Chain A
Amino acid sequence: MSTLPRRLATLIVVAAIVAFLSIKLSAFRDYQIAEVAYEVTAVAGLTVLTGLSGQISLGHGAFMAIGGYATALLLMHLNWPFVAALVIAAAVTAAAGAVVGIAAARLRGPYLAGATLMLGVALPAVAYAYPATFGGDQGLDVTFTVPASLSNSVPPTRWDAWVGTTVALVTMLLLANLCYSRIGRNWRAVRDDDVAASLDGINVAAARIRAFVVSATCAGVAGSLLAIITLNVAPGAFTLALSISLLTAAVIGGLGSLPGALWGSLLIILVPTYATDVATSHGLSSSVGSNIPIAAYGVVLILVMLAFPRGIQGGLRRLVALFGGPPGREREPERKPIATPEHSEKEGSS
């Protein structure tokens, strides 16, 4: 089982790999590493919310928007260092997460999905409604540079990749600790059977709200990273498609799994780029060429989801078990003669 030293070790290994890659690969790849970093940060929070506490959110792009715009405004108007802006942005988003979490505490399944979907659509629209503050369509430009001491040896894209990766890894570490703590266990209890959980003395509403706050904060941090990596925040960066892609990444990677957040993020960022590359290299006409990657991406989602019902991480676990590795959390099936038919019919889900 994972423990703190083990997690730190994994972290350091991953950081080393990323550092190595960021030096060896092109600037565009560095940019992609940075993209994956902020995606993972958001997806990790979402996979905890949906996988561990059982609450779906189709609007996490809204929290990214809050974090991004907060960061942009702080950097622009107050000239704060990035870390300070990041912390404040996270706090603001956490507060927003609390508000949404409180509103959402009583909602189930599809109703929660509908409410968060609308949140994801409505919140970025605020930027259009108040163009003076939020820059309207063009949004706000963000200045973020490599620190003077490193600016000769480290190009901006590599620096972005490092900053992004560091923030992402720290977030994952904190999330991992949370997931294996009593808080995380409470989340799982609430997800599996909230009536039983409350009979056990768990404050169900508090647990659910807490999950929202944590996941929103992660998304806010991700939005903050997005601001400094893309150097712009505009409504067009926080579309419904973004919110949907966050959930997609979480489920396809393996719901509730932090490594899964990474696999999912890699898939949603790399597959469309790869498909576009293939299409362009074949010199197809623009409308066909730009749409084949889209169609292909849709097919990939369907196929991966059907082939790996427990996500990519689930598939990897099965693969490892197949080759005689430790079966992980799955026990060997036993032949036990006693059973009462389980009358557990879960309500449908969105």
Chain B
Amino acid sequence: MSDALVVDGLVAGYGEVIALDDVHVSAEAGAITAVLGANGAGKTTLLRAISGMIKPRHGRVMLDGADMAGRTPEQMVRAGIAHVPEGQGVIAELTVEENLRIGMMSRRANRAERAAALDEAFERFRPLAERRRKLASTLSGGERQMLVIARALLARPRVLLLDEPSLGLAPRVMAQVMDLVVRLSREHGLTIVLVEQNARSALSVADHGLVLNLGRVVAAADAPTLAADVALRHHYLGF
């Protein structure tokens, strides 16, 4: 299968410090690629560089072969790369429905289409439907994560970048989120790049994986291979 997203020779950083050095990523279309590594390894920076939140110093980001160099996050979304950032992904001061509507702002759609898309989102994510008109600040952690993913999906992306979607969630809720991620990939053919601190659970759902350490890629293979490499796991992944 071809690669939907290719990152080639990426160098990125903040101010004087280089956070990513010559990073290469190939995300197969329709598959889940996990990005693993310890805190500070550069995982979040990688997603930010892909979605345009920070400008890479060198290297290319290619979506279906087209170079996405220099695009702003707004343009990236319209091109089909949706980024769900780590931590506070919802706009707490807006209602659940308003948060979802924002997700549709990158698309050209008339009122009927938007209403239909909203209904579909509420169908898929029942708990959100119940809290439709409530402020996003009243949602629990798991519900917020659901809202953030639902919003990203409304942009009809080709590639979904998920940054620690299970961060701070209870184990049961974490499992539900992972479940959701798998279904998105299998049922909808979404290409997913998943950053996860919890390498074990990430590798259990991913098709491919790559391990970052201090801004460099130290390993890239399919998930079962990485999971089987005990030395690698001990050294970089903490299990």
Please report the total number of A residues contacting B with Cβ < 8 Å.
11
Identify whether the interface residues of A are mostly helix, strand, loop, or mixed.
Answer: loop
Question: In the complex, A103→B38 CA distance in Å?
Answer: 47
A339-B40 contact given A333-B16, A334-B16, CB 8 Å threshold: yes
The answer to whether A340 and B39 touch across the interface, beta carbons within 8 angstroms, is yes
Q: How far is the CB of A341 from chain B (nearest CB, A)?
A: 5
Return chain B residues, CB-CB under 8 Å to A342.
14
Q: Is B216 on the interface with A (CB-CB < 8 A)?
A: yes
The answer to whether A341 and B18 touch across the interface, beta carbons within 8 angstroms, is no
Return chain B residues, CB-CB under 8 Å to A338.
17, 19, 40, 214-215
Return chain B residues, CB-CB under 8 Å to A334.
16-17
Q: How far is the CB of B151 from chain A (nearest CB, A)?
A: 21
The answer to whether A339 and B44 touch across the interface, beta carbons within 8 angstroms, is no
The answer to whether A341 and B45 touch across the interface, beta carbons within 8 angstroms, is yes
Question: In the complex, A334→B16 CA distance in Å?
Answer: 6
A336-B14 contact given A341-B44, A341-B45, A341-B48, CB 8 Å threshold: no
Contacting residues of chain A (75-107) with chain B, CB-CB under 8 angstroms = none
Please report the total number of B residues contacting A with Cβ < 8 Å.
16
Question: In the complex, A55→B49 CA distance in Å?
Answer: 35
Q: Is B73 on the interface with A (CB-CB < 8 A)?
A: no
Q: Is B42 on the interface with A (CB-CB < 8 A)?
A: yes
Contacting residues of chain B (133-174) with chain A, CB-CB under 8 angstroms = none
Return chain B residues, CB-CB under 8 Å to A333.
16
Q: Is B59 on the interface with A (CB-CB < 8 A)?
A: no
Return chain A residues, CB-CB under 8 Å to B21.
335, 337
Question: In the complex, A342→B44 CA distance in Å?
Answer: 11
Question: In the complex, A337→B14 CA distance in Å?
Answer: 11
Question: In the complex, A335→B14 CA distance in Å?
Answer: 11
Question: In the complex, A336→B14 CA distance in Å?
Answer: 10
Q: Is B13 on the interface with A (CB-CB < 8 A)?
A: yes
Question: In the complex, A336→B15 CA distance in Å?
Answer: 11
Q: Which residue of B lies closest to A333 (CB)?
A: B16
Return chain B residues, CB-CB under 8 Å to A341.
14, 19, 44-45, 48
A-B contact count (CB 8 A): 37
Q: How far is the CB of A294 from chain B (nearest CB, A)?
A: 38
Question: In the complex, A335→B40 CA distance in Å?
Answer: 16
Return chain A residues, CB-CB under 8 Å to B214.
337-338
Question: In the complex, A22→B48 CA distance in Å?
Answer: 59
A339-B216 contact given A333-B16, A334-B16, CB 8 Å threshold: no
Question: In the complex, A336→B42 CA distance in Å?
Answer: 12
Q: Which residue of B lies closest to A342 (CB)?
A: B14
The answer to whether B44 and A335 touch across the interface, beta carbons within 8 angstroms, is no
Q: How far is the CB of B106 from chain A (nearest CB, A)?
A: 24
Contacting residues of chain A (291-350) with chain B, CB-CB under 8 angstroms = 331, 333-342
The answer to whether A335 and B18 touch across the interface, beta carbons within 8 angstroms, is yes
Question: In the complex, A341→B14 CA distance in Å?
Answer: 8
Question: In the complex, A341→B215 CA distance in Å?
Answer: 12
The answer to whether B215 and A337 touch across the interface, beta carbons within 8 angstroms, is yes
Contacting residues of chain B (19-71) with chain A, CB-CB under 8 angstroms = 19, 21, 39-40, 42, 44-45, 48
Q: How far is the CB of B202 from chain A (nearest CB, A)?
A: 19
Return chain A residues, CB-CB under 8 Å to B216.
337
Return chain B residues, CB-CB under 8 Å to A331.
16
Return chain A residues, CB-CB under 8 Å to B45.
339, 341
* 10 A-B residue pairs with CB within 8 Å: A334-B16, A337-B215, A337-B216, A338-B40, A339-B14, A339-B17, A339-B42, A339-B45, A339-B215, A342-B14
B: residues with CB less than 8 A from A are 13-14, 16-19, 21, 39-40, 42, 44-45, 48, 214-216
Given A336-B17, A338-B215; 20 other pairs, CB 8 A cutoff: A334-B16, A334-B17, A335-B18, A335-B21, A336-B16, A336-B18, A337-B19, A337-B215, A338-B17, A338-B40, A339-B13, A339-B17, A339-B18, A339-B40, A339-B42, A340-B39, A340-B40, A341-B14, A341-B19, A342-B14
